[in-house]
Amino acid sequence: MSSSRRLCLLFILVSAARAATTPATPAADASPWKTSVTLGARIGYDDNVFLQDPSPVIAANGVPDRAGSMVGSATVGLTTAWQRDRAFIFDAGYSPELVRYERFASENHDDHRFNAGVHGDTGPWGYDFKGSFLLVDGEDTSPIFGHAGGAPAIGGEQVRSRRDQSLTKTSGRLTYAVAPRVFVRAVGATSSQDFGTQQKRTTIVPGYANYVDRAEWTVGADAGWRLTPDLALLAGVRRGAQRQGALIGTASQSSNTLTRYLVGVEGKLHRTLTVSVLAGPDYRTFDNAAPIGADHTRHTEYAEANATWTPSTADTVTLTGKRYLWLSSGGKTPYDSTTCDVQWKHAFSKTWSASLAAGYQEGDNTDYVAASSFRDDHIYTITLGGGYAINAHTKLDLSIVREWGVSEIAHQDGREYNHWLGNLALRYTF
């Protein structure tokens, strides 16, 4: 489909959705249905599209170093929600986005995001189920990284995310209040990433970035005891599995089953501070094909944390973090994944706002592979943002991102990079 036809499709979606959200009669205000439409456009500059800094070339035909390009996108957000009472609340959304690079047609892609969920509570029962689906219509061949070390830090996620793929996620919880202070709940989650890119033998195409499918599912139960009506201690267990697809040229992969024991806390520590923390040991049993030595039973750590602090009506500070064992999108191996993000938002007035964020990621496989395949990558990110509300429906957003990719393994220059990204975005909500 051509770009002009895609833009026409976006216009049709906006027009139809806007018509659907316009009440025909005053009685429409009483409808349990609520809908909204958001139209957005973004223009920016990326000074290192392929996350490659200059260094000696070891593979021909690789992506260019320090390749800058203007980037533009257009998007429509369609959301709907239905609520008759607290027992059943439904919401759903669809957001197509067209992304275009001025200099590199290979990086153009169309994203289609779908989400839906239901939640509610009645008597001692409460439930929350949701799912999302991302379809990326992008290039079906992967980039060639021509420097030592191969792909950028942690696989060059920004480059990978523009390739043909789909990502499906679901989660759910069902809670029952046994007593005023005691509750139990069943939980489950799935994640499946399916890459549509071609695989090629790196002996024939050196530096080619092969991507393999990966998935995870977990189910389990939690028991909670409320210290206060808004704060609870938790203990839980999870059973599940991770699955890694086949990489061309090898029978090795790191699919595994897991048992995870967790303790934590969730709720309000203070009227201004809400937290959710779960942590505990993670026991893995890898398939016989895993390239991690004779002992295929491993013990790792799992932790996830979220916190929101609102010291004033104008300020919000959020913190998210996670550490767990995940499977490489490059095939064969697992790695310890650590992520941490903190963001501060401040509203100067109803018109002006600003934000400052910092992020950290580490991908470390050194406990699972031979020394010749070691990766220990770090990514540091700082983001400065600002917003201006032109009117009740229209908002202008500016963001500047500074990013560094660092390798703890020496002489792997292709994994290290410096990156600037600036964006100016306009959003209109009908």
pLDDT for the residue numbered 26: 45
> 217 vs 93, 165, 169, 327, 401, CA distance in Å?
24, 19, 10, 13, 33
In whole angstroms, give the CA distance from residue 170 to residue 189.
5
pLDDT for the residue numbered 293: 65
Contact between 315 and 344 under an 8 Å Cβ cutoff? The reply is yes
Spatial CA neighbour of 58 closest among 145, 154, 153:
145
pLDDT for the residue numbered 6: 53
The domain in which residue 330 lies consists of 3-429
- pTM beyond 0.85, yes or no: yes
pLDDT for the residue numbered 30: 66
pLDDT for the residue numbered 29: 56
In whole angstroms, give the CA distance from residue 109 to residue 96.
11
pLDDT for the residue numbered 38: 98
pLDDT for the residue numbered 111: 98
Contact between 335 and 244 under an 8 Å Cβ cutoff? The reply is no
Domain of 380: which CATH number?
Answer: 2.40.160
Instruction: Name the burial class of residue 417, with classes exposed (0-12), middle (13-18) and buried (19+) by CB atoms within 10 angstroms of its CB.
Output: buried
Residue numbers in the chain where pLDDT is lower than 70: 1-30, 292-294
pLDDT for the residue numbered 288: 82
pLDDT for the residue numbered 20: 45
Number of domains in the chain: 1
